[in-house]
Chain A
Amino acid sequence: MKIKYLLLLLPLLFNSCIEIIDDLTVHSDGSGTFKYSINLSSSKLKVNSILALDSLNGRKVPELSQIEAKILEFRTNLAKEPGINLVKTEFNSTDFILKVQIDFSSVAQLQDGVKSVLQVMSKEKDKESFEGDWISWDGKTLNRIIPTILANKAKSFENSDVDLLKNGTYTSISRFDKPISKTSNPSCKLNPTKTASMLQVNTYDLKLNNSLIENTITLTP
């Protein structure tokens, strides 16, 4: 996985106080915007100390410039994928906040594009890790699950610092043009106009149970 530098950040994510937000907007015509933010600013001392190392758990620790180069590679490759209209990335290397915004023509093309780029940049040539739908949309129902590759990766991390991990949050937001009629995940909350849902879970709980942010959202006809 040439995107190994990005994935190298993942152990940090699961060993630090972290905030992750995924924010998906799906319009009635299937187009939309996906935003993904990772915030490690409350652990910047720790992240800085890790970045100062040559290697961690037998893997090379990348330099900031290498991380930035891989983010750029991800952005460039994804922008070439069919149905991907715009890709924006922003990496704040002082506070360690990564933001990605992707405008897409259809949810299927968003998934295919991300899968394709990750697979090309990934060391994981095992196609099974990329199989199955991570997200699907049929015009009235949205299904979301954690991708197998990320679930497996998360399970393989050892937690030496559970306390910090327990302070982390993962927030999953879905927005629509029409009101939501029902959601499958009981922890999911809706905004007053019912056009947006929010699911917020603890990162440590999520590591133990990937299904915590699984959700099927059905819109009113």
Chain B
Amino acid sequence: MKQYISVLFLLIAYVHFGQKSEFIIPKEAVTVFSINNVDVLKKIGVDELIKYDFMDEIHQELFDGSTDNKSLKDAGIDFDQRLNIFYGKNQYFELSGFTFGIKNEKALFSVFDDFDPLPTEIPGAKAYGSFFNNLVIKSNNALLVRVEPIESSVLEITDSIWFSRGNMSPYYNGFEIDTELSDDELMKQDLEYDLREKNYNELRDSIQFVLQNQYLNSVLNGLFKNGESLYSMYPRFQEVLLHPVAGVFYMDNERNFDRAKNLWYLKSVLPTLYLDIQELYEGNVIVGDLVLKDKAIDFNISAAYSEPLGSIYMEMNDSKFDKRISKYIKQDQSAFFTYNINLKKAYEKAYEVVLPILGKEKNVELSMNVLLLKLANEFINKDALFDTYKGTMFGTFNGIKKVKTRKIEFFYNEDTFEYGERETDAEEDMPIFTLGFTTARPDVPELILDHLSNVTSKFEKKGNYWIYKQAIFDAAPVYMINTDGLFIFTNDEDLALNHWEGYGKEGLNSKTLKSIKNSGSLCGYADLKSVANQFPIDFLLPEQQPLMESLRGKSGNMVMRSGKTTVNKTELSLSYSFETNEDSGKHLLDMLNTLYLITK
């Protein structure tokens, strides 16, 4: 009881005497990074700060010179208040921005000079606009927000209006037909054309503009007129702000649209099932503390979930670590991860939790699928299945290797400039990976590979390993090693040819192994300098590329460990240690940017 009273007291004291910028975060925000001690950022240059991806909204300020050689202190920002960066997305719009305190409004506008005053009906507030950004200042607190309608929703409305006006498809190619018209006919067509009628793109832009204003007004009215902020509506967010750390992270996965949209079909077609499934995600909030240390930043994450979901996670994490993988990870490996789960137990628990929910539905199609699941559960040899993938997995990044390829080269006759083609050797960079898992049924992968080798000569057994020739982009081979209860895929020729039994003494030492064992289901390590600077960015998906770009030029280590998993929550820690003498605030922003890109 005493504990509750003291928390209540802290909360009251906080609300009355504490920082206020967090009170004006819109309720639509799903993810928030709140930097508690803005003081650590005092020495950061404004132009340096707004280069970060989480400051995307005001990147244009970089180009007009107003931010040159100005520190955050020069920008009139109140360092007694938090800087809160937020992002949210629902079915209709995406919103992003940040809130902060202002000490000197004049200084603020001398740096952010692109903003022009706008009329506003919000009592006691001043509003400003710049391109798509809106700045609202109330009681020395500022909210910079950008609201953008979801493109698919804009296009749906545009199409509806466009076709209802009797128009052809905007992609209809009238040009080909126009070429058959005479000059007189073309002139007549031009004269008949109503210039007031918007073309497809103009119509789309108008709809986007109207929706943008409508959604922005709805966000601002909810926040300033109805007092509905993230802080006022979500107690878990209030609680996380009380943590005495440099920064906190909050993500409401229950309201995470990207997860929710996967359930859209259920919501429309099987609403009762949707409600049951939604219950599984009830209270699924992920919070984290950013702890600033000397030459290190720790990010401690806690993911809360409902008991049924938690029971599945608990079973999944109840797994014995298989140390045989350690000989395939070098002690000085630039990056590796291990993942240890009990898939059989997780399957059985998920079957126990999810199947009754599905079984309640009276829908014929779903009912037949439930029957199929039940029959599969009876007939499939689950022991064989889950013995093939036993549960301990590892992956390593083994650096970059020049891969030999062939190229066609043009050559010229100097007398005639005629040219021909010749095939020559070429080299290209390729990231080298290893991925392996433990198995109690080595005969199963062997059976598959043996079969494939009969079908195509690209699969071939070479003594202690299998080779799949030209497997990667028709150029480089993949090797498969099936030994000692492990099945390993790699494009590392050296591993397959010379270390198929492991790296011996070069493998992980007992201290590291112990630390991995204690880490729970997940452990990851990366030497940022060698990974981020070496990794060929073209091998990543476009949405992953900014993350790798943001890590380039950094030095230090990143270690990720999962912690205790209970029926209500699981813990995860990410530690970023750096060797340079750079300002720790800069490293905090680097890490925050990395996390922002991961969670956006």
Contact = CB atoms under 8 A, between A and B. Distances in A.
A63 to B, nearest CB: 15
Interface in B534-564: 537-539, 541-542
Interface stretch (B204-212, B268-276, B408-416): B408-416
B405 A2 contact: no
B417 A173 contact: yes
Contact of B428 (A46, A160, A197): A46
Interface stretch (A26-34, A50-58, A204-212, A213-221): A50-58
Given A191-B416, A196-B416, A198-B412, A42 B407 contact: yes
Contacts of A94: 474
Contacts of A171: 410, 412
A45 B473 contact: yes
A198 B413 CA distance: 11
Given A37-B410, A55-B542, A44 B405 contact: yes
Nearest to A15: B538
Contacts, number: 80
A15 to B, nearest CB: 8
B126 to A, nearest CB: 36
Given A21-B419, A43-B428, A191-B416, A49 B408 contact: no
B173 interface: yes
Residue in A2, A46, A48, A52 with the greatest tally of chain B CB atoms within 10 Å: A46
Interface in A29-79: 37, 39, 41-46, 48-50, 52-53, 55-58
Nearest to A51: B473
B176 interface: yes
A48 B542 contact: no
Interface in A112-133: 119-120, 125
B260 interface: no
A76 B476 CA distance: 37
Interface in A90-107: 92, 94-95, 97
A119 B542 contact: no
B468 to A, nearest CB: 16
Contacts of A120: 173, 175-176
Contacts of B406: 41, 95
Contacts of A21: 410, 419
Given A52-B473, A94-B474, A191 B414 contact: yes
Nearest to A16: B538
B539 A49 contact: yes
A48 B541 contact: no
Nearest to A59: B542
A contacts with B: majority SS? mixed
A44 B415 contact: no
A111 B300 CA distance: 64
B384 to A, nearest CB: 32
Contact of B407 (A37, A41, A50): A41
Interface string B111-134: 000000000000000000000000
Contacts of A196: 416-417
Contact of B541 (A53, A119, A198): A53
Nearest to B537: A160
A45 B541 CA distance: 15
A192 interface: yes
Contacts of B173: 2, 120
A142 B472 CA distance: 46
B475 interface: yes
B180 to A, nearest CB: 13
Given A44-B405, A45-B405, A175 B542 contact: no
A56 B405 contact: no
A42 B426 contact: yes
B473 A97 contact: no
Given A95-B407, A119-B175, A120-B173, A46 B538 contact: yes
A52 B538 CA distance: 11
B599 to A, nearest CB: 20
Contact of B538 (A19, A50, A55): A50
Nearest to A121: B173
* Nearest 6 A/B pairs, CB to CB: A48-B473, A42-B407, A41-B407, A41-B408, A45-B428, A196-B417
Interface of A: 2, 19, 21, 23, 37, 39, 41-46, 48-50, 52-53, 55-58, 92, 94-95, 97, 119-120, 125, 160-161, 171, 173, 175, 191-193, 196-198
Given A45-B476, A191-B414, 12 more contacts: A19-B410, A21-B410, A41-B407, A41-B409, A43-B428, A46-B428, A49-B539, A94-B474, A120-B175, A191-B415, A193-B415, A196-B416
10 contacts: A19-B409, A44-B475, A45-B475, A49-B473, A57-B542, A92-B408, A171-B412, A175-B417, A191-B416, A196-B416
Interface of B: 173, 175-176, 403, 405-410, 412, 414-417, 419, 426, 428, 430, 472-476, 537-539, 541-542
